[in-house]
C-alpha cells in the first residue's frame, strides 16, 4: 500500500475547461482565503497540479470516461461530485495512472504523465474498502509506507520517523501506532490511510470519498487537516457526495454525469445529492414531508 500507484499510461497536453454541455449551478459565496496558487509579482505562475484533458477511459471493457476535462490549479481545492456511477473514482484513478487513458492527455505538475516521476508529491487516499482488513501490519508500518518515495528504500531516518509520528498525531492515531490495522474500525482505518497520504508532505492530495461512513468528529478532524495542508500550499482533489464541513475550503466543483463534465465552476449553493445534475435517487428517503411544511 504505497501512497500512490504509478503504472504507465498516455501523455500530451491541452487546455482544460468545462465541456460545451456544462450547466451552470447556483454559486455559493466565494471562499474568503487567499486565492490558490497566488505567486509573488514577477514569478511565473506554477503549473496546475493536475491537467486532465478530454480523457476517455474504459473499465472492464466498458467505456466510463467520455471526454473529461479536469484541472486542479496549484493550491486549489477541487471537489469532484456526481451521482453514483458517474465516473468520479475512475477519474481520480486516471489521474494517478491506475486507469490508463484510451484517449486524451494527463499532465501532473506540468509534466506529461509518461515522463512524470515525482510520485512523492502526490498523496492518495482510495475509496474506502474492507480489503485491507486482513493485512498483518501495524498502524505505524502502514503509515510508513507513505514515506517510501522519500527515502527510496534507504534506511528509515529520524526525520522519516518524525514525519510518521506527526501524521499519526494529525489524525489522532498516535496512541494506536503499534496496533495491528486488522483490529481497527472502518473510520480508524480511514484515518490511517489519510495519515499514509499525509506523511510524504505531498503537494497534491487526492481523496476518494474521505467522508464516507465517517462520524462528525472525524469529519471535523479531516476538515482541520485539510485546512492545514491547504494553508501550506497543497492542492487537493476530493471526491465527495456532500461538501459538509469541507464547504468553506472548496474553491471549485466539477460535477460528472455519465462520464462527462456537467458543471465546472463555483460549488453549488447546496450540494446535497439532490443539488447535483443527474442525481439518481438511490438512497432511502424519510417519509414524504406533508405539503406546506418545509418546502
Ligand X SMILES: Nc1ncnc2c1ncn2[C@@H]1O[C@H](COP(=O)(O)OP(=O)(O)OP(=O)(O)O)[C@@H](O)[C@H]1O
Site residues for ligand X per CB under 6 A? 59-60, 62, 64, 82, 84-90
Q: Cβ of residue 84: shortest distance to ligand X, in angstroms?
A: 3
Which residues does residue 105 pair with via DSSP β-bridges, in sequence order?
A: 53
User: Nearer to ligand X by C-beta: 128 or 140?
Assistant: 128
User: Nearer to ligand X by C-beta: 167 or 261?
Assistant: 261
Report yes or no: 52 and 94 within 8 Å, Cβ to Cβ: yes
C-alpha cell at 145: 509506507
User: Nearer to ligand X by C-beta: 120 or 279?
Assistant: 279
Q: Cβ of residue 14: shortest distance to ligand X, in angstroms?
A: 22
Q: Cβ of residue 80: shortest distance to ligand X, in angstroms?
A: 8
User: Nearer to ligand X by C-beta: 160 or 208?
Assistant: 208
Q: What is the Cα–Cα distance from 24 to 188, expressed in whole angstroms?
A: 37
Q: What is the Cα–Cα distance from 139 to 179, expressed in whole angstroms?
A: 6
Q: Which of 199, 209, 215, 123 is nearest to 167 (CA)?
A: 199
Q: Cβ of residue 142: shortest distance to ligand X, in angstroms?
A: 23
Question: How far, CA to CA in Å, does 282 sit from each of 82, 213, 238, 279, 295?
Answer: 13, 17, 21, 9, 21
Taking CB atoms, the residue at the shortest distance from ligand X is 60
Q: Cβ of residue 211: shortest distance to ligand X, in angstroms?
A: 12
Amino acid at each position: 500500500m504505497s501512497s500512490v500507484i504509478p503504472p504507465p499510461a498516455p501523455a500530451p497536453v491541452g487546455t482544460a475547461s468545462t465541456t460545451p454541455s456544462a450547466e451552470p449551478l447556483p454559486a455559493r459565496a466565494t471562499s474568503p482565503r487567499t486565492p490558490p496558487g497566488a505567486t509573488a509579482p514577477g514569478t511565473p505562475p506554477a503549473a496546475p497540479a493536475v491537467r486532465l484533458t478530454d480523457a476517455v477511459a474504459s473499465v472492464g471493457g466498458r467505456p466510463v470516461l467520455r471526454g473529461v476535462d479536469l484541472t486542479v490549479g496549484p493550491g486549489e481545492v477541487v471537489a469532484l461530485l456526481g451521482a453514483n456511477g458517474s465516473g468520479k473514482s475512475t477519474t481520480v484513478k486516471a489521474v494517478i495512472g491506475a486507469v490508463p487513458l484510451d484517449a486524451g492527455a494527463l499532465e501532473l505538475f506540468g509534466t506529461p504523465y509518461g515522463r512524470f516521476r515525482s510520485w512523492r508529491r502526490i498523496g492518495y487516499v482510495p475509496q474506502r474498502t474492507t480489503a485491507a482488513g486482513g493485512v498483518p501490519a501495524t498502524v505505524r508500518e502502514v503509515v510508513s509506507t507513505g514515506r517510501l518515495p522519500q527515502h527510496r528504500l534507504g534506511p528509515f531516518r529520524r526525520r522519516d520517523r518524525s514525519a510518521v509520528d506527526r501524521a499519526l498525531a494529525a489524525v489522532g492515531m498516535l496512541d494506536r501506532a503499534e496496533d495491528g490495522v486488522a483490529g481497527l474500525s472502518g473510520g480508524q482505518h480511514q484515518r490511517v490511510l489519510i495519515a499514509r497520504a499525509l506523511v510524504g508532505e505531498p503537494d497534491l492530495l487526492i481523496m476518494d470519498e474521505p467522508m464516507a461512513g465517517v462520524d462528525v468528529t472525524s469529519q471535523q478532524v479531516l476538515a482541520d487537516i485539510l485546512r492545514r495542508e491547504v494553508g501550506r500550499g497543497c492542492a487537493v482533489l476530493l471526491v465527495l457526495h456532500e461538501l459538509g464541513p469541507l464547504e468553506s475550503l472548496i474553491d471549485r466543483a466539477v460535477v460528472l454525469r455519465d462520464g462527462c463534465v456537467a458543471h465546472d465552476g463555483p460549488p453549488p449553493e447546496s450540494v446535497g445529492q439532490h443539488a447535483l445534475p443527474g442525481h439518481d435517487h438511490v438512497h432511502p428517503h424519510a417519509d414524504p414531508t406533508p405539503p406546506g411544511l418545509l418546502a
